[in-house]
A and B are shown apart, each in its own frame.
Chain A
Amino acid sequence: MIVEVLRAGRGVTIQDQGRAGLIAQGLSRGGAVDRLALLEVEALLKRRVSVIELAGAGASFRIGQGCQIALTGAPRKANADGNPLRWNASHNLAAGSVLTITAGQGYAYVAFDAALGRPEVIGSQSAHLKGGIGGHLEQCELHFIDARTGTSDLLDVVDRTAGGNVRFMAGPQTDAFGEEALAAFTSQTFTKSARSNRQGAGLDGTVALDASQLSRVSDFITEGDIQITGNGAPFVLLAECQTIGGYPRIGTVLPCDIPIVAQAKPGAELRFELVSTDEAEALWQSDVQQVAALRSKISPLLRDPATMNDLLSYQLVSGFIRGDEEWL
């Protein structure tokens, strides 16, 4: 199957699980920024495939063959040949359909139920922009094998673009902040800054630093670390984080809460709650466990919007949906 990329804004990349195991070489894992969205794709399509990540940007594609697709992550407006497509769902698109996804906030994901035929670089097809592997997707033809059709399903997803409570655990430098600074950090409401990319999410707010914390020996950084930069503004590191750095880290956001930080819209409020290492371990779930849990939240899409014209005249799913909100 050939998928023509008709249009792709800056920030559209191929992603997968990334490249784990290269910290000694200075390369962070990378892969999809919102790993939950990747698992949602896996739950909807019933297999693991490479996805297209739309970081802020929009894109359109012409699908060469009938194929199931999944749309997950930050909700966007999507349509197939002008017919709206529900987000957090899978759909069957006919051969020749043009799939259009609008630009918007956060990280949106489009996946085709097919295997992308693209060479792996060090075990992954994903672009690692900071690391200099791959790049932004441009007009091109993507070649897939083993394209499949399937069911049109809806995944029940709690919105994670509005900010909220973020749990973190202590790390090697937490104690250096002292109780007062830690209390000030956990009692403060931060807002998501527009200074965010695949490397990290900037927050507006200030954490007091003393001079000694700015002269530390550079040390390891991992995804989820909350780094306090020279001017006191926190930065939560994401998939393409640096592997070593000099700025102090107050702790590490739990993997299950990283999507809340990554997907929070600019201006969304975020508060941090310190949990013990034991709690963090208890909250951890393997990909297999997460996908199984997601599978239980899937229900059939009663009507496939791609086949519905004059959409607002339909009464959808028991009639409690206005019809003008769910599609946005």
Chain B
Amino acid sequence: MATDYILETRELTKQFRGFTAVDKVSINVRRSSIHALIGPNGAGKTTFFNLLTKFLPPTSGSIVYNGHDITREKPAQTARRGVIRSFQISAVFPHLTVMENVRVALQRKLGTSFHFWKPESTLNHLNERAMELLTEVDLESFADTQTVELPYGRKRALEIATTLAVDPELMLLDEPTQGMGHEDVGRVVDLIRKVAKNRTVLMVEHNMSVIANLSDQITVLARGTVLAEGPYDVVSKNPLVLEAYVGSAEAEVT
């Protein structure tokens, strides 16, 4: 069934001055699933993310989201369709409070974001919803803290709360557990599982236990092309995948 897929790419390609970072990648992301994108460093995962979110224009190929061809759209346009990404380094607004971080995402749908003549207090009715979102990621006690003062793991949680605030249909997470300690990893995994209940998640991740734990479907990228695809049990036994990971993450795969 064609409509089963929320996102499809067809032979998506990106070249940088002759170097092909993403080479004819065709993937299908099933609605309401957690789809992981893995591969060794330099496999083109982040470039692929940048193509999906329009931060980079593709050289060729197409992207179809919910039946619409979004290949030539602008980043903000695609975001407004409900495709929201996170970044490898935590993407927060450091000199706004934790509450303001979430509220800035909530206010877009009010349609008053160009109203420079209105006082900020017209946003106060969003505070309640912002607080709910902060509670979901255990940040309610930090609401009035300047974001720059949060520890790293908390910033990533805030980033997820901000992403949830725009109620995305498809969340693209770029290495959500990168640079985190053990407890934080556990917390983020729980969080992802919780938020994925009624939406689709596509994530790039290196931590194999996180992937084994969360993902329904895995696509392995190597040198810009799809190396293997399938559920964790199948992919982790694929000799090609093992070979691609030798010397890097072999221990984690087994």
Q: Do A and B bind each other?
A: no
| B interface, CB within 8 angstroms of A | none
